[in-house]
A and B are shown apart, each in its own frame.
Chain A
Amino acid sequence: MKTMEVRLTINGKPGAWMIAPGDLLLDVLRREGYFGVKRGCERGECGACAVLVDGRPINSCLMFAAQAEGREIVTIEGIAHDGHLDPIQEAFLDHGAVQCGFCTSGMVVSARALLARCPHPTEEQVREALAGHFCRCTGYKKPVEAVLAAAAANRHKARNGSRARQKPAVEVLP
């Protein structure tokens, strides 16, 4: 089997992977331990494998790993900072937007990209951003509410000039 090296930034850190030339990004991410990136339909329909490439959400099942050369990849594992959940993750918890959780990581990274580009989206814009994410528990309403709430919290924060809510990170059960 022929291999090649791909150099990239993954969740803020430089990385170098040995890959096969025909490897898909999804397969390599999971091989490297990023299990938050879910394997769903493997044909770009369900959005469970979404990650950010240079800040934009893409379906990692449709991208060759070799195309990641020189790019910045962010997976769900890179969304929280310093042990604190991202406000979008907080809002998903607060609003009961997580059922089985399989679609959640994709939805959160897409929402992250939306709010970075458009901090105060309309409900229509949130729906469009999440349209490529299938939730087979059919929980579409709560994620939309959660993203809108995260955006509203943003606005509140901007108005008050206060820092992000310092909530402890989710407790990890042994």
Chain B
Amino acid sequence: MFDRVEAFCRPASVPEALRLLQRGKGKARIVAGGTDVVVAGADDIRILIDITRAGLNYIRQKPAGVAIGATTTLAEIEQSELLRKTAGGILCRAAATCGSVSIRNLATVGGNLANASPAADMATPLLVLEASAVVAEGRGRRRVSLADYLAGASAGRFSQAILVELVFPLPPGGKHRGWSFQKLGRTAVDIALVSVAAGLQLDSKGRVKQARIAVGAAAPSAVRMPAAERRMEGHAVDAALIADASAEVERAVQTIFDVRASAEYRREMSAVLTARALRECVAAAGGSL
């Protein structure tokens, strides 16, 4: 499958990796965990560039928020004490649903997003955390919103760039906040048919101050659901409001279909998972239904 590969490079820095990528003239492929690269295969690839030794393996708390290096494995995210305490641990929960233990020991958060699968498990929790992607390209680095990164990556716009880091502002804790990650898959180790991440902030009277909802595996890339979020904000949270927001998601989501599930089924399940996620958020935020 990789018989025509002529060189396997292990650059020790991002600039070195970028130079190799440029020199590859479209025939070089970035490898992190390899779990998607190997399965996809590629007869035209001549150079493999392993970036797992380029200093991108870290989870750091900074004054402005949290930074996760692109080659941090899903197992490391799952087990991170810092991330467990952040936003109800939704990043740990999402990572823990991604394949088996032996996949998560290889697979990286950067690879999960750069592969641009609609079903990327890390995309929805990072979207509700308003994450940005830090991309190295040419001689510099730039920050793009994760939504723009996902859309660009699925259109192949970052083929000469390397995703180096995910950053998000540290969400304030407090008892009036709740988070949830929900995933529907055929088996414990299968990819998602639909996934939903949500975050709710309530005020002291039980009204929704802020709502964040993201749906994955339904649309061509994971997306936020702004209409459903607006539908909730400013209103007292109750079962009817959750039903309204879920119905709004069902209306708004653009669904794909494939061997795993039809578009209709995904659409319906988007609403079911949204309702589950919002109920969990309300419970965690100390609200009642």
Q: Interface of A with B (CB < 8 Å)?
A: 2, 4, 20-24, 43-45, 47, 50, 53, 56-59, 61-64, 66-67, 69, 110, 113, 128-129, 131-133
Contact = CB atoms under 8 A, between A and B. Distances in A.
B38 A24 contact: yes
Nearest to B106: A58
Interface of B: 1-8, 10, 31, 33-35, 38-39, 45, 48, 50, 52, 75, 99-103, 105-106, 188-189
14 contacts: A2-B6, A22-B8, A22-B45, A23-B2, A24-B2, A62-B35, A62-B106, A63-B106, A64-B2, A66-B10, A66-B50, A128-B101, A131-B101, A131-B188
Nearest to A51: B102
B35 to A, nearest CB: 5
- Nearest 10 CB-CB pairs, A to B? A132-B100, A22-B2, A22-B5, A21-B8, A66-B8, A56-B105, A57-B102, A21-B5, A62-B38, A62-B35
A4 to B, nearest CB: 7
B100 A64 contact: no
A62 B39 contact: yes
Nearest to B33: A62
A43 B34 CA distance: 11
B105 A57 contact: yes
B5 A58 contact: no
Contact of B39 (A21, A43, A128): A43
A64 B4 contact: no
Nearest to A106: B102
B51 to A, nearest CB: 11
B276 to A, nearest CB: 21
A132 B102 contact: yes
B257 to A, nearest CB: 22
Contacts, number: 91
A171 B188 CA distance: 38
A133 B189 CA distance: 10
Contacts of B4: 22
Contact of B102 (A4, A24, A47): A47
Given A57-B102, A131-B100, 19 more contacts: A4-B8, A20-B3, A21-B5, A21-B6, A22-B1, A22-B3, A22-B48, A23-B2, A44-B39, A56-B105, A57-B105, A59-B103, A62-B38, A66-B8, A67-B31, A67-B34, A67-B52, A110-B102, A131-B101
Contacts of A64: 2, 8, 31, 34, 38, 48, 50
Contacts of A20: 3, 5
- Residue in B1, B34, B102, B106 whose Cβ sees the most chain A Cβ within 10 Å: B102
A129 B106 CA distance: 15
Contacts of B105: 53, 56-58
B198 to A, nearest CB: 24
A131 B38 contact: no
Contact of A110 (B31, B35, B101): B101
- Residue in A2, A50, A58, A133 whose Cβ sees the most chain B Cβ within 10 Å: A58
Nearest to A60: B102
Nearest to A26: B38
Contacts of B1: 22
A50 B99 CA distance: 14
Nearest to B102: A57
- Residue in B52, B105, B188, B189 whose Cβ sees the most chain A Cβ within 10 Å: B105
Contacts of B2: 21-24, 64
B192 to A, nearest CB: 16
